[in-house]
Amino acid sequence: MSVTVFWVMLPRASLLASRLPPDITHDIARAALRFIRLPFACRDLERRVGRMTVRGPIGIAAGLDKDGSLMGFLDSMCPGFITVGTVLPYPRKGNPRPRLARYREALSMCNAMGLNTPGLGPVLARIARSRARAPIVLSIGGFNVGDFAYMARALRDFPKISAVEVNVSSPTYGNKWLNAADEAVTAVAKHLDLQIFLKVSHTMPPKLVARLMDEHGVGATAINTVPIAEPSLSTGRGGLSGVAVYPVMLRYVKALRAHTDGPIIAVGGVCSRGQAIEALRHADAVAVLTCITYFGPLALRNLTNAFSQ
């Protein structure tokens, strides 16, 4: 796609997307973005986040590319890193539709995707073919310890993964892992010699998470979505993301940092330079998702530019 066509079409596409049901917008966007590469020149803002070297402080959170099919497009946005997933060992359809709701005035959304995934095999095949320059973080989930152990063993000799995110906080689990996160991270850490991040919710006590981080030598992705009631979704409930959860995320990350020096990726509502700067006073990196769904690739570029001047 030429530079001129891209800038002409971007506002028109955004206007059309805002008028369609969220689930339909999601499908159309995914189909189109697989073939688009953006005309951005990436700046070198390399830094360390634990054992992982990233291209910049602002990366892409799990959920935007659940199956690895958008890595080319996302890489052309010049992110610090790309999180793919969450993926399970096996295919899962997720929840029935509708499973997305927008709150435009709050720059937020609610999802009840239900951990939909094609499974680990197809996702790893796409990552193996990828030419993305940004580091890839693979988010893995599981409904039992065996799921996590299986995927950790499969990733042991896989060369294109820079870090693994252990998702124990999806609303789809309910409270399954609230008091058993140690089992999940143990199952992964004993098989992998790379940076691991424990993806936690705001309901997990910061002291407990800090202890797990220090005992296992892992980092944390904080926080996951905040569960709320949403009658328009098929499940009647979903995970809130976007600017509405920013205060919750910031309080949690501050509390977590008070108990550990381990690497933290702040996730939750960052959508302005001021928010990114504030979050990075306490975290080592920031990952965004909902902001990109509202403002497109310029959102990531705007946030990154705050650290390149």
pLDDT one-digit tens code per residue, 148-201: 999 999 999 899 999 999 999 999 998 899 889 999 999 999 999 999 999 999
User: How does DSSP classify residue 41?
Assistant: P
pLDDT of residue 4: 46
What domains does the chain contain, in order, with CATH numbers? 41-305 (3.20.20.70)
Q: Is 141 helix (H, G, I), strand (E, B) or coil?
A: coil
Ranking 14-23, 97-106, 107-116 by mean pLDDT, the lowest is 14-23
**pTM of the full predicted structure?**
0.91
The structure tokens listed for 30 are: 């995914």
User: How does DSSP classify residue 108?
Assistant: E
Q: What angle do CA 8, 37, 134 make, to 5 degrees?
A: 135
130: Cβ–Cβ under 8 A, 6 or more apart, which residues? 68, 71, 72, 75, 136, 160
pLDDT of residue 3: 45
pLDDT tens string 229-270:
999 999 999 999 999 999 999 999 999 999 999 999 999 999
Q: Is 128 within 8 Å of 161 (Cβ atoms)?
A: no
| DSSP, residue by residue, 64-75 | EESSSTTHHHHH
User: How does DSSP classify residue 185?
Assistant: H
